[in-house]
Amino acid sequence: MLTLAWAWLLLLLPLPLIFRKQQQQVEIDGHLHLPGIGENGAEQIQQRVHSRKAYWLVWVLLVIAVARPLWMGDAIELPSKGRDLMLAVDLSGSMQIEDMVLNGQTVDRFTMIQDVVSDFIERRKGDKLGLILFADHAYLQAPLTQDRRSVAQFLQEAQIGLVGKQTAIGEAIALGVKRFDMVDKSNRILVLLTDGSNNSGSISPEQAAAIAAKRGVKIYAIGVGADVMERRSIFGTERVNPSMDLDEAQLISLAKTTGGLYFRARSSQDLQLIYQEIDKLEPISRDQLSYRPQAELFYLPLAVALLLTIFMALSQLPLFNRPVQWLTARRGDR
């Protein structure tokens, strides 16, 4: 269905008529203005009539473009059942450690999270997702929304060090709880992905978890990092534990306090299994909502008006206005 978003702007259509009447009044009050009379008088009058029609057509097209014509598609019903999941992703400096394997290649922890979580987001049909990024402090990147594409894009555009180098787990939990307070009916699941321990922020993880438990927010904590990584040194290759900074005891306690679960992700396969567990959560019923897809069409009348204006401007040139006379004059010169 074709419609106008700002149909009231069509009231601007008679505006040139008002200015034209005022101009005519000035001409009458000042002096008598007569159209050219003679051999070319009728032709000039006819040209003025055609020009006036063209100007009016351009004006009408411009007003229609400003009024924002839209093509409205058929109503599409959104799923009436789903989960509310807030993703809190660690962007601290340790996420750069390359101890994960993705598609047969060694990558850093954050690259692996971006790949697996993006796939997880894509499969969340009917769910509402939000995104929190945290390091020195926690920041809301996307509120709870069913626009999965935007959430995935925000995650792909994130960079390590964007919000600092440390790890504010407590602030991430507190921010997630705050966002869930704005939702009435909700599963209230906070998925926390981190590879370290809390060493920054204005609130401790234990305090934030206690608040989360009171507000009915469950924490699904995921500890990211491999157990063993080979590192080259001047003494040769040595095997080290890259996850020494991961405070699993704290993450287990946070999950237990809120009635959630703790998972250890040593590989991308582990993360896939974790998300399968989240899939088992019972979705909640929501009010039936629908939306109508729309496409902007303002560029069509705008393009026609532009082409018509260019044609009118070219028609004023002798080359385009009187091609026969111009060619005759050129032959006479020869």
Which is more confidently placed, 321 or 327? 321
Q: So where are the chain's domains?
A: 1-9+51-74+292-316, 84-281
**Per-residue model confidence as pLDDT tens digits over 186-240:** 788 999 999 988 998 899 999 999 999 999 999 999 999 888 776 666 665 666 6
Residue 292 has pLDDT above 70, yes or no: no
Which is more confidently placed, 253 or 123? 253
Mapped to the 3 state alphabet, what secondary structure does the chain carry? CEEECCHHHHHHCCHHHHHHHHHHHHHHHHCCCCCCCCCCHHHHHHHHHHHHHHHHHHHHHHHHHHCCEEEECCCEECCCEECEEEEEEECCHHHHCCCEEECCEEECHHHHHHHHHHHHHHCCCCCEEEEEEECCCEEEEEEEECCHHHHHHHHHHCCCCCCCCCCCHHHHHHHHHHHHCCCCCCCCEEEEEECCCCCCCCCCHHHHHHHHHHCCCEEEEEEECCCCEEEEECCEEEEECCCCCCCHHHHHHHHHHHCCEEEEECCHHHHHHHHHHHHCCCCEECCCCEECCEEECCHHHHHHHHHHHHHHHHHCCHHHHCHHHHHHHHHHHC
Q: Specify the CATH number for 84-281; select among 3.40.50.410, 3.40.50.1000, 3.40.190.10, 3.30.930.10.
A: 3.40.50.410
Instruction: Mean pLDDT check: name the lowest of 30-34, 63-67, 176-180.
Output: 30-34
Instruction: Report the mean per-residue pLDDT for the chain.
Output: 81
Share of the chain above pLDDT 90, in %: 36
Kindly report the pTM of this predicted structure.
0.63
